Amino acid sequence: MGMSKTSKKKTSDPIIIDEEHGLIFDSEQELYSHFENEIQTLEREFFTLRKEDKDINEFEFKKYDTQLEKLLDDPDEVWEDTATLSQQQRVFIYIRQFEKTTHIAACYLTESTPSFVYLHFPTSDEALVERYRRGQMVFQRMLGDVPMGAIDGDALHEGDELAAGLYKAMLSLRADKDITEDEFIDYADCREDTLEDADEIWRSGDTTGNTLVSFIKEFSEEDEFYYVVVTVEDAPSGSHALLFSFPTLDKSLVDRYRHGENLQAEEVIQESSH
């Protein structure tokens, strides 16, 4: 279990956790020594609550470490727990659901920002997650029903029903080994490139009379992948409103968006926001 979000620093640079309360340390050793009792209390509790035979193997925790930053930056829930440590020592519990796991972090907050992580871990056990929903909920994601793959500016992010239905259908067709939904945001920069310089553009009508236009572009960076942007066409103006977009490694999934009329890029007027 990784404990602290603080990075390795030269001994000459002090580690500032909470300047107002005098939590300034000359080394990581001094920092961990200060919080040793809190870390041990929370670790003991974790190992007591955890059902080892029904959860993620502890040796695999390392591969989930990349979730920590996403959790701290954009949690689903934050709980203020004043009972586990002491009345003077509040611990804030951050919770975020990923595609197949939930990640939890117990944190020290400085001015509403996590400045030290006592412990964090992934879990697939919903009963364990429930044990960490305690104290007072101080934050809940307002758009709890917005999918993880929604990107600011698209209709999916705004809760549009057409976008949500088509997006759900796309997820149901994805292969298990494809790029996971919680990684979609890492590819968001590809959206503009795909709209401006698509390899293919396809127009088709759906059963309810909407005209859908899909922009497809193949990217060859470290790994080859495709990016698909699905839009709905406004008949009078011919402009397009973004519904949703996604990356994929799966050529057969891309093929599902290659139907209808194959357009030339210069025939299309683009509109970048919904």
76: containing domain: 15-140
- pLDDT of 208 reads 77
118 lies in the same domain as 174: no
Cα–Cα distances (Å) from 110 to 74, 94, 113, 258, in that order, read: 17, 14, 5, 50
The tokens of 86 are what?
Answer: 């002491």
- pLDDT of 141 reads 73
- pLDDT of 10 reads 47
90 lies in the same domain as 191: no
- pLDDT of 274 reads 43
The tokens of 191 are what?
Answer: 């959206």
Structure pTM?
0.55
- pLDDT of 268 reads 54
The closest of 74, 62, 82 to 114, measured between CA atoms, is 74
Long-range contacts of 40-48, Cβ-Cβ distance < 8 Å, separation of 24 or more: 41/84, 41/85, 42/84, 42/85, 42/91, 42/106, 42/118, 42/119, 43/1, 43/119, 45/84, 46/1, 46/119, 46/121
105 lies in the same domain as 175: no
Domain endpoint, select from 108, 140, 172: 140
Domain count across the chain: 2
Measured distance between the N- and C-terminal CA atoms of the chain, rounded to whole angstroms: 42
126 lies in the same domain as 172: no
- pLDDT of 264 reads 65
Residue 74 lies in a domain: yes
Query: Which residues of the chain fall short of a pLDDT of 70?
Result: 1-12, 87, 142-145, 264-274
178 lies in the same domain as 256: yes
Cβ neighbours around 96 below 10 Å, total: 23
The closest of 92, 60, 62 to 77, measured between CA atoms, is 92
